[in-house]
Amino acid sequence: MSKALFITNTDLKRYSVLDGSLDPDKFLQYIEVAQDIHLQRYMGTDLYNKISADIVADTLTGDYLSLVNTYIKPMTIFWALVEYLPFAAYQVANKGVFKHTSENSTSVDKDEIDYLVEKNRNIAQHYSQRFIDYMCYNGDDYPEWSSNTNEDINPSSNNSYNGWQI
């Protein structure tokens, strides 16, 4: 079974800071991670699975298509950036882990990467809150949002990130 992605390579490059020439294989897995960790948390298992199945079957229409285009795509783009940016400069190959550098540019330090991650996290949380607000008023139009049972993930209306606690 193929894995549905809620955004395309074009969506991610068009609506983010990613360069148009970036190889999709460098960030594809981070879209999946963002969907599995963040999107499923807000959507719940049943709605997540329903939209995934509709994307794979190419049957996404109506209110569900509107939900994806208006709320889920922006969430996915910025949560994917939150997951991708800390790893963007690195490559793991047969001979170890490498950090890419360029002759005509300078590498950014960890604080700058952390800043970019937090800026994208703030944007992702904004779009996530818009999704939550919309679903709170229109959840009846999407019965899968409230039909989760047993080990399913129930949608979260908590949109806060308090950082790491040690």
Given pLDDT bands bounded at 50, 70 and 90, which one contains residue 166?
Answer: very low
| Nearest to 132, CA basis, from 153, 152, 154, 159 | 159
* Residue 89 domain-assigned (yes or no): yes
* Residue 106 domain-assigned (yes or no): yes
Query: 13: helix, coil or strand?
Result: helix
- pTM, full prediction: 0.86
Domain that holds residue 64: 23-146
Over residues 21-55, the pLDDT tens digits come to 788 888 999 999 999 999 999 999 999 999 999 99
For the record, the structure tokens of 59 come out as: 């049957």
Give the list of residues 6+ apart from residue 22 with CB closer than 8 angstroms, or none: 13
* Residue 111 domain-assigned (yes or no): yes
DSSP codes, 110-142: HHHHHHHHHHHHHHHHHHHHHHHHHHHHHGGG-
* Residue 87 domain-assigned (yes or no): yes
Residue 99 main-chain phi, psi, to 5 deg = -110, 125
Over residues 71-109, the pLDDT tens digits come to 999 999 999 999 999 888 777 778 777 676 666 667 778
* Residue 161 domain-assigned (yes or no): no
Determine the pLDDT at residue 81: 95
Determine the pLDDT at residue 161: 52
* Residue 81 domain-assigned (yes or no): yes
CB contact at 8 A, 51 and 143: no
Average of per-residue pLDDT across 114-127: 95
Average of per-residue pLDDT across 138-162: 80
The answer on pLDDT for 137 being more than 80 is: yes
Number of domains in the chain: 1
Torsion of CA 159, 123, 5, 93, to 10 degrees: -110
CA atoms within 13 A on the CB side of 128: 28
